[in-house]
Amino acid sequence: MLQDIERYLACPLCAQALTRHDRSLRCPAGHSFDLAKQGYVSLLAGDAHTGTGDTAEMVAARADFLAAGHYRPIADALAGAAAEAAAEAPADKPDGLVADLGAGTGHYLAHVLDALPDRVGAALDISKYALRRAAKAHPRIGAVVCDAWRPLPLRDASAELMLNVFAPRNGPEIRRVLRPGGTLLLVSPTARHLRELVDALGLLSVDEEKQRRIDEKLGPYLTPAGRREVEFTLRLGAQDVRTVVGMGPSAWHTDPERLGAALAGLPDPVEVTASVTVAAYRR
């Protein structure tokens, strides 16, 4: 719930602390942000644009696909890595904030919080459609609309752990928000991810150099602290294939009629490779 994370929040306009007043959050400078009835708060600056956020259709597709358990091995690997990071935290830090940058529906953050019963979670995303679901994904999640490329509405050194799963990465802000010694867990697709669908349906592919480019961009701010690859085989029916296409970046670039014709040429079900890297970085 939002009240669990209010002490970690900062005004997006002046960076001062926010406190609750009835159905709004306010800072000492008088900036006020109304709480949505769906359980989230928007801490976007007034000139922010939300056109890059996931649409209601994309969010629904992601919710259906994840609820079916197709990516459960990824969620389990992330939760395991989070538990390892928590075990290495200082003994005087038994609790703290887990901030998920690009949290979407809150699916992965909820799994991590299940593994960390003393933590609370901030689901950060620019899509209000996603955060309506994230606000209900776990009793210890607070959902906040914000722009990953602007200063995040969190206080300096407020997070013990940050998550970033298939989402934009803002290195300077991640470093600012992480406490010294804190950990970022980043999940990114490898070039093998969904390769059978990429080839057959003409979807967006993953660059072979993606992990190297991520390391280079984060290098000035964080130190690599280990990584593991998670790879497994999915058996997807035709509707599952439509769903996985509709929940990702290819949804912006795929013509429905062309997709339908290409799907007709696939076996049903089709075996598809899921392949990601779970990488840890330390401040």
User: What mean pLDDT comes out for the span 31-35?
Assistant: 93
Q: Which of 226, 223, 212, 221 has the alpha carbon at shortest distance from 282? A: 223
Alpha helices in the chain (DSSP H): 2-5, 56-67, 72-87, 107-115, 128-134, 171-177, 195-201, 210-218, 238-246, 256-263
One-letter amino acid of 195: R
Reported as a pLDDT band with limits 50, 70 and 90, residue 48 is: low
Domain containing 158 equals: 2-282
Q: What's the average model confidence in pLDDT over 202-216?
A: 82
One-letter amino acid identity for 210? K
| Count of all residues that appear for the chain in the document | 283
- What is the C-alpha separation between 153 and 11, in angstroms, rounded? 6
Give the mean model confidence (pLDDT) for residues 217-225.
Answer: 94
pLDDT (tens digit, 9 = 90+) per residue, 146-161? 999 999 999 999 999 9
Distance CA 42, CA 3 (A): 14
- Contact criterion met (CB below 8 Å) for 196 and 175: no
Backbone angles phi, psi at 136, to 5 degrees: -110, 5
pTM: 0.91
User: Cα–Cα distance between 176 and 91 in angstroms, integer?
Assistant: 22
pLDDT at 51 over 70: no
> Residue 252 above 80 pLDDT?
no
Predicted local confidence at residue 255, as pLDDT? 63
92 band by pLDDT with thresholds 50, 70 and 90: low
**Three-state DSSP state, 252:** helix
Q: In 90-206, at which residue ranges do the beta strands (DSSP E only) sit?
A: 96-101, 119-125, 141-145, 159-165, 178-189
Query: In sequence order, what are the beta bridge partners of 119?
Result: 96
**Cα 97 from chain centre:** 15
| Confidence (pLDDT) at 242 | 84
What is the average per-residue pLDDT within 15-28?
92
Number of domains in the chain: 1
Q: Is the distance from CB of 97 to CB of 123 less than 8 angstroms?
A: no
The CATH number for 216's domain is: 3.40.50.150
pLDDT value for 95: 67
pLDDT in tens, 111-147: 999 999 999 999 999 999 999 999 999 999 999 999 9
List all residues 6 or more positions away from 108 whose beta carbon is below 8 Å from its beta carbon: 74, 75, 78, 100, 163, 165, 187
